[in-house]
Structure formats: structure tokens, C-alpha cells
Amino acid sequence: MKGERVFSLDLLRVLACYMVIQVHAGEFYYIGEGNTVINNADASWVGLYNSLFRSAVPLFIMITGYFVLPVKEEMSTFFKRRFTRVVIPFVVWCGLYAVYFFFTGDSTLGEVFINIAKIPVNFGVEVGHLWYIYMLIGLYLFFPIISPWLNSASRNNILFFLVIWAVTLLLPYIHREFPEVLGECFWNPTPLLYYFSGFLGFAVLGCYLKKFHKEKNKWDLTAGVALIVIGYLITYTLFITRLDTEKMVTDLELSWNYGTINVAMMALGIFLVIKNIQFKKNNAFRRRMVSISMMSYGMYLVHIMVLNFFYWAFNDMFSSAAVKIPLMAVCTFIVSYIIIKLISYRSRSKYIIG
């Protein structure tokens, strides 16, 4: 979307990009074969470090909602602009990952072509971080549909949606005691609050903050820090206590679920703390953060290749994940930026890096 850049949200995007990379760096140290839980000292460090960083994806979506919603363009213009910047690089990188898996010995040459053909179905290869792009495309498809309501909705109208959405963020915990609630059953996967749930809520929250809470407020910092601390304590405590009891990663990550109230609290808290940060336009730090922000989509796409390299380089060099996780994440972040920045100098680079 063209227009004057909002530096605080560039900074927030840079932070979220790093957070995603560190979350993926931690996965080497608590996820075992068959998605079983590795319970050791390294896993405890993962819980300590990365519980806060699970808010990265919600932050990305809030930023998207802030800038994109409500859509004011014609649908054809909106889809052409967004999908050129998102879908084409996504397909390119799905193909690159298929080839990458061949060179790492994880697939045969025949499987490379099969994996490329599978892209419209689900990923090209089993590279988990690409799930986000499918979800993002789904949000883009829905944005023009919800935009007329957001254009005319009052503050209370949007709050009505957000309050009900917040209730759905409690469902992952309610389901521990009541697996089927509000009309759920094996023949009905769309119960009472189904249409209020999911990632759309984070996008609407970003739009709400732009429309009604854009200006600096004296309680932004206090409320933001409180939300971060409370959200983190819930997220970390549940993760670390369940580490001794859960055998499967899907069960262990209950409090890391993006659709939980505690993760949403951390995301909102970080947004409130950072949204008012400003630097002078000729400041070198500001220029670098804006540059990284502009490269962040490409960095997201490439970073798994880079991260795998640094895992190979550092895993046997240090004994504790307390050192390895941030070291791998920082090195991956920097090198991913350099790679994408160099690609950006080429003509038609937008079709590769977005």
C-alpha cells in the first residue's frame, strides 16, 4: 500500500521477523522424531526464550490489518497488487525449496517435480513455515468482503466483534474440559462462534487500533507492559509445567497456540508499547530498520535454508541451547537480510522477494 511509512510499524515488523526466526531456531531443541517432545534442559530454555515470541505471527497480521483494512481499491486492483507481491514469490520459493531438499538429500529428482506439482494442494515440500502464506492469501481473499462493514462500522460495532473473538481465544482451554461446546459435534465443525474465530480477529484488531487508537495515549506503555507480562507468565508457565507430562508437541504447545487469549495479550501489548516510537527521518537506525522491514517477506521465505546452515555450524560448537538459540537466530536474521537485500538490486526482484 503506497503512502507515507509508519516507522513504529516498520520497527514492529522487523521485531516480528526476528521473533519468527528465533521461534524456528528453538524447534531443534524440543521437537523430536514424529513430533514427540524432547524434555531436557534445552527444552526449558526454549520455553523461557520463545514463549514471548509466539506473538510474532499475530503481530504480522495486526500490521497487515492496520495498513490494508478497510480495502478502498477495486477488487481487481487490490488482488493484482497484493497477489503479485505475495503469491508469485511464494510459488518461486516453493520451487526453490523443492530443489533445496534434493541437494540436501531429502528427496529424489523425481520427487522434486512431484513436490512442485503439489504446490496448489498444500506446500511444495514439507517446509512448515509456508503455512503462513496460505493463511495470508485467505485473509486477502476475505478483506474486500469485510471492508464495507469496517468502512461504516462504529467503534462499538467493531468492539462487539472483537469481544466475541476474544471469547473464542478461550476455547483451546475450554476444550481441555469440554471437547465439544456450543454445538460442536462430529457432524458439525462450524459451531456457534465459528465465524468469529481465527486469524481474522488480529487483522480487525489492527484496523481498530488505526481507526480509534492511532494517537499516543498516556496509558499505552503501562497497559502494554501489563499485557506482555501477564500474557508471558501464562504462556511460559503452562508450557514449562506441561513439559513433564505431555508426549506430543501438539499437546505441549497448548499455550503457544496463536488462537489463545494469552498470545493475543502479548501481541496487543507489544503493539501498544512500540506503536508510538519515532526517530528522525535522517537517522541511520531508522533507515536500516525501514530497509529490513521492506525485505522482511523475502527474509521470511528464505530463512529456513539459512537457519539449517547455522544449526549445522553451531550445534556441536556449544553445549547449551541457551547460547545456540539466540546465536543461530541472530546470524540467520542478518544473513537472510543480506541475501534478500542483494537480490533486491536485480530487476524484477519483486517476483522473488515480494
Express each pLDDT in 323-343 by its tens digit.
999 999 999 999 999 999 999
Distance CA 309, CA 97 (A): 14
Strand-pair partners of 248: 36
Residue predicted with more confidence, 261 or 186? 261
| Residue 40, in any domain of the structure | yes
| Mean pLDDT value across residues 88-101 | 91
Give residue 279's pLDDT: 80
User: Over the stretch 95-120, which tens digit does the pLDDT of each residue have?
Assistant: 899 899 888 888 888 888 888 888 88
Share of the chain above pLDDT 90, in %: 76
**Contact partners, residue 338, CB within 8 Å, separation at least 6:** none
Report yes or no: 206 and 63 within 8 Å, Cβ to Cβ: yes
pLDDT band at 193 (very low <50, low <70, confident <90, very high): very high
What average pLDDT does the chain have? Answer: 93
CA distance 331 to 295: 16
Give the residue-averaged pLDDT of 219-225.
95
Q: Over 80: is that where the pLDDT of 124 sits?
A: no
Q: Is residue 133 part of a domain?
A: yes
User: What confidence tier does 3 reach under pLDDT thresholds 50, 70, 90?
Assistant: low
Residue 1 has pLDDT above 70, yes or no: no
What percentage of the chain carries pLDDT values higher than 70? 98
Cβ atoms within 10 Å of 213's Cβ, excluding its own: 14
Instruction: Quote the CA–CA distance of 61 and 12 in Å, as a whole number.
Output: 11
27 within a domain of the structure (yes/no): yes
2 belongs to a structural domain: no
* Residue 182, in any domain of the structure: yes
Query: How many domains would you assign to the chain?
Result: 1
Could you list the residue range(s) of the whole structural domain that residue 187 is in?
Answer: 7-353
pTM (two decimals) = 0.93
pLDDT value at 125 more than 80: no
pLDDT, tens only, 291-326:
999 999 999 999 999 999 999 999 999 999 999 999
Dihedral angle sign, alpha carbons of residues 291, 201, 86, 1:
negative
For 104, the grid coordinates are 540436501
The pLDDT of residue 156:
97
Residue 282 clears pLDDT 80, i.e. is over it: no
Dist. CA 103–CA 37, nearest whole Å: 29
| pLDDT average, residue stretch 247-255 | 95
φ and ψ at residue 64, rounded to 5 degrees: -60, -45
pLDDT average, residue stretch 64-86:
91
Residue 235, domain member (yes or no): yes
Specify if 1 maps to a domain: no
Asked if residue 53 lies in contact with residue 22, where contact means CB atoms within 8 angstroms, the answer is: yes
Nearest to 204 by CA among 306, 100, 68: 68
